[in-house]
Amino acid sequence: MRIESGHDLLAKELQDIHSAERLLSRELPRLSKHVSSDEVREKLDERLHQGEELLEAVEQELEELEVSVARKRNLAVEGLLEDAKQLMDEIQSEDVLDAALIAELQKVQHYCMAAWGTTAAYAREMEQESLAEAMERALEDGKRLDRELSELAEEGINPHIFESEGGEREETGDQRRSGAGRERFGSEGRVRGGKHSASSEHRERPRSPGKHGGEGSDLRGREYRDRQGQIHHHTRSYAQRHRGH
pLDDT in tens, the chain (245 residues): 688 899 899 999 999 999 999 999 999 999 998 888 899 999 999 999 999 999 999 999 988 888 887 777 899 999 999 999 998 889 988 889 999 999 999 999 999 999 999 999 999 999 999 999 999 999 999 999 999 999 999 998 888 888 755 544 444 444 444 443 333 333 344 334 443 433 444 444 444 444 444 445 555 555 656 566 666 555 554 455 555 55
CA 63/CA 69 separation, integer angstroms: 8
CA 101/CA 112 separation, integer angstroms: 17
Of 212, 216, 204, nearest to 240 by C-alpha is 212
Looking at residue 41, its pLDDT comes to: 93
CA 47/CA 59 separation, integer angstroms: 18
**231 pairs with which residues across the strands?**
225
* Spatial CB neighbours of 64, under 8 Å, sequence gap ≥ 6: none
Residues in the chain: 245
CA 230/CA 92 separation, integer angstroms: 78
* Spatial CB neighbours of 28, under 8 Å, sequence gap ≥ 6: 44, 45, 47, 48, 51
Looking at residue 191, its pLDDT comes to: 36
Torsion angle, alpha carbons of 52, 55, 56, 59, to 10: -170
Looking at residue 47, its pLDDT comes to: 95
Looking at residue 156, its pLDDT comes to: 87
Looking at residue 132, its pLDDT comes to: 95
CA 43/CA 49 separation, integer angstroms: 10
CB-side neighbour CA atoms (13 Å) of 184: 7
CA 62/CA 111 separation, integer angstroms: 21
The residue extents of the domains of the chain are 6-165, 214-245
Looking at residue 95, its pLDDT comes to: 85
18 in Cβ contact with 58 (< 8 Å):
yes
pTM exceeds cut of 0.85 = no
CA 33/CA 156 separation, integer angstroms: 20
Q: Considering only CA atoms, give the Rg of the chain.
A: 35
Eight-class DSSP state of 151 = H
CA 172/CA 222 separation, integer angstroms: 54
Measured N-to-C along each axis, helices 94-125 and 6-32 cross at an angle, to the nearest 10 degrees, of 160
What topology does CATH give the domain 6-165? Ferritin (1.20.1260)
